[in-house]
């Protein structure tokens, strides 16, 4: 059940009609959220409900065990980590690891077929498994660190773990931030409802109008269905992909935040205009914030972070970024994408250039570096990634004929760039004269977005981050 579907619209209609009758009593509120969220998840494939239920039950009791049995708290944490990462590995990385082992065996003259022996059921990637696994792990880890007291009510815990707005594609919500919110209920006021409506509309606009309308142009290029080639063509393709993945994922996060806000709850911002970043550190502080801060707090800092000497900092950064790449998928291309960012971040940390660069130039440089890394993120394999990068920098063709063929698609790329440019102007306090009140501007913007969603929406593509 996708946010941009009629089924989800009907689901939300029933949920918010019934919500006022269940939200007043804690037990009923939690049960209602859990039941609704599991129905939402089961709509995709009910067979995989056992995964989130198993993961949740283990962590619920491990959390209690960590607090009650101090001498064995490390054992309970270990059980939680092994169970969660074990399930994640089986369903997400079994083929990847099996292929590596097969290559190792072949170097010793052993021809062992592991991949064909993997159960077919585990070859299906359960939607959202990477998100709720990390969310569940943060619960037991924070209890172990004495930063959180475990809940004694399993429905309270599952209402946190399975909350449907962010269940399948984030943002990754921390238990220490959200369990407290779920203990009570509050009716959002008029302004909060209006803001939640704006978030949902903006999110659907980003996804259905910008991202979906760019997909055909991008897919035809990477699938080899386009007759165009050359430097200029691939630069435009990669700029388009940069905005497609941003608008697609940011759109989902905005809808999730809007739905939660309408329920009376708050999710933290997950994207903050990352393509306006002036350095790579700033980019990672504004891109997929819930994941980057998760890796910072549970991997990078425990490994030493920036305060334990140069050697530990380098090791911590390498491990963190490679795990981030692996989190996105069992493919070498994601590791290459992560490696590129690792090298760039290390250079940025070690060199610490004091050269003053114009803000617009620094933003452009960072965007180009991020764009090159995106090549491997999107590429089907390492060879295709290398081929595209070579085309970007060979400067062998600047033919712009493709614009006439893909005009309908590229119009939305221009629109996306203009929207970001307006935010850049606002951030830098440029005077943009608007002869109206902010409410009127919001009303005009929302009206435009709704009309665009109705009349200009692209093909109903699945959210890109569903595959992670």
For residues 220 and 361, membership in a common domain is answered with: yes
Determine the pLDDT at residue 429. Answer: 66
Cβ-Cβ contacts under 8 Å for 100 (sequence gap 6 or more): none
pLDDT at 306: 77
Q: Do residues 316 and 179 share a domain?
A: no
Residues 141 and 273 in one domain: no
SS3 state at 423: helix
261 occurs within a structural domain = yes
Q: Helix or strand or coil: residue 111?
A: coil
* Pair 154, 207 in one domain: no
pLDDT by residue (tens digit) across 282-313?
999 999 999 999 999 999 999 988 777 888 99
Confidence of residue 432 (pLDDT cuts 50, 70, 90): low
Q: Is residue 1 part of a domain?
A: no
Contact 416, 247 (CB under 8 A): yes
Clarify whether residues 364 and 345 are in a common domain: yes
Contacts of residue 47, defined as CB under 8 A and 6 or more positions apart, other chains included, come to 121
Query: How many other C-beta atoms are found inside a 10 Å radius of the C-beta of residue 240?
Result: 24
Choosing from 163, 185, 207, the residue where a domain stops is: 185
Average per-residue pLDDT in the chain?
Answer: 90
Q: Is 341 a catalytic residue?
A: no
Q: What is the pLDDT of residues 232-247, one digit of tens each?
A: 999 999 999 999 999 9
pLDDT per position as a tens digit, 58-113: 999 999 999 998 889 999 999 999 999 999 988 888 888 888 887 888 888 777 87
Domain residues for the domain of 313 are 191-467
For residues 166 and 292, state if they share a domain. Answer: no
* pLDDT digit string, tens, across residues 121-168: 767 788 889 999 999 999 999 999 999 999 999 999 999 999 999 998
What are 197-222's pLDDT values in tens digits?
999 999 999 999 999 999 999 999 99
Residue 435 has a pLDDT of 45
Catalytic residue selected from 266, 273, 288, 328: 328
Tell me if 247 is assigned to some domain: yes
Question: Are 297 and 198 in a shared domain?
Answer: yes
Asked which of 185, 202, 236 is the last residue of a domain, the reply is 185
Boundary residue ending a domain (185, 214, 241): 185
Helix boundaries (H) for 162-229:
175-182, 190-204, 212-222
Query: Does 417 fall in a domain?
Result: yes
Q: Percent of the chain having pLDDT more than 70? A: 96
CA–centroid distance for 423 within its chain:
22
254-281: average pLDDT = 95
328 is written with which tokens?
């996105």
Is the distance from CB of 169 to CB of 2 less than 8 angstroms? no
**Cβ contact 279:354 at 8 Å:** no
> Are 417 and 339 part of one and the same domain?
yes
Domain tally, the chain: 2
pLDDT at 353 over 70: no
Are residues 70 and 103 located together in one domain of the fold?
A: yes
pTM recorded for the entire structure: 0.93
Whether the pLDDT of residue 430 is over 70: the answer is: no
């Amino acid at each position: 059940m996708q946010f941009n579907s009629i089924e989800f619209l009907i689901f939300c209609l029933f949920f918010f009609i019934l919500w006022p009758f269940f939200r007043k009593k804690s037990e009923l509120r939690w049960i209602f959220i859990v039941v609704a969220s599991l129905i939402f998840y089961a709509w995709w494939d009910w067979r995989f409900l056992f995964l989130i239920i198993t993961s949740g039950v283990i962590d619920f009791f491990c959390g209690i065990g960590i607090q009650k049995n101090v001498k064995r708290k490390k054992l309970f944490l270990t059980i939680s980590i092994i169970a969660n990462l074990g399930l994640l590995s089986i369903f997400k990385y079994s083929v990847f690891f099996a292929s590596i082992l097969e290559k190792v065996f072949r170097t010793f003259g052993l021809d062992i077929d592991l991949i064909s022996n993997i159960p077919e059921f585990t070859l299906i990637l359960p939607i959202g498994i990477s998100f709720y696994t990390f969310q569940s792990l943060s619960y037991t880890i924070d209890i172990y660190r004495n930063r959180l007291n475990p809940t004694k009510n399993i429905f309270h815990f599952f209402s946190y773990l399975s909350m449907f707005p962010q269940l399948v594609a984030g943002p990754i919500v921390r238990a220490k931030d959200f369990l407290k919110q779920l203990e009570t209920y509050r009716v959002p006021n008029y302004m909060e409802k209006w803001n939640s409506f704006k978030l949902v509309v903006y999110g659907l606009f980003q996804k259905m109008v910008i991202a979906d309308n760019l997909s055909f142009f991008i897919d035809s290029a990477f699938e080899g269905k386009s007759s165009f080639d050359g430097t200029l063509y691939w630069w435009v393709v990669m700029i388009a992909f940069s905005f497609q993945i941003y608008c697609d994922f940011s759109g989902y996060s905005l809808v999730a935040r809007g739905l939660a806000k309408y329920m009376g709850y708050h999710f933290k911002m997950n994207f903050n205009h990352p393509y306006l970043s002036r350095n790579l550190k700033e980019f990672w502080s504004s891109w997929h914030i819930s994941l980057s801060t998760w890796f910072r707090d549970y991997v990078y800092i425990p490994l030493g972070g920036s305060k334990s000497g140069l050697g530990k900092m380098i090791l911590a950064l390498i491990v963190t970024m490679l795990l981030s790449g692996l989190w996105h998928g069992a493919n070498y291309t994601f590791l290459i994408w992560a490696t590129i960012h690792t090298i760039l971040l290390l250079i940025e940390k070690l060199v610490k250039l004091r050269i003053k660069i114009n803000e617009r130039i620094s933003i452009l440089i960072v965007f180009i570096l991020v764009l090159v890394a995106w090549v491997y993120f999107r590429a089907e394999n390492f060879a295709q990634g290398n081929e595209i990068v070579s085309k970007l920098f060979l400067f062998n063709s600047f033919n712009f004929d493709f614009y006439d063929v893909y005009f309908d698609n590229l119009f939305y790329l221009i629109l996306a760039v203009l929207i970001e440019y307006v935010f850049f102007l606002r951030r830098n306090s440029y005077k943009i004269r608007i002869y109206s009140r902010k409410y009127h501007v919001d009303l005009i913007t929302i009206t435009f977005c709704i009309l665009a969603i109705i009349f200009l929406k692209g093909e109903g593509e699945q959210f890109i981050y569903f595959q992670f």
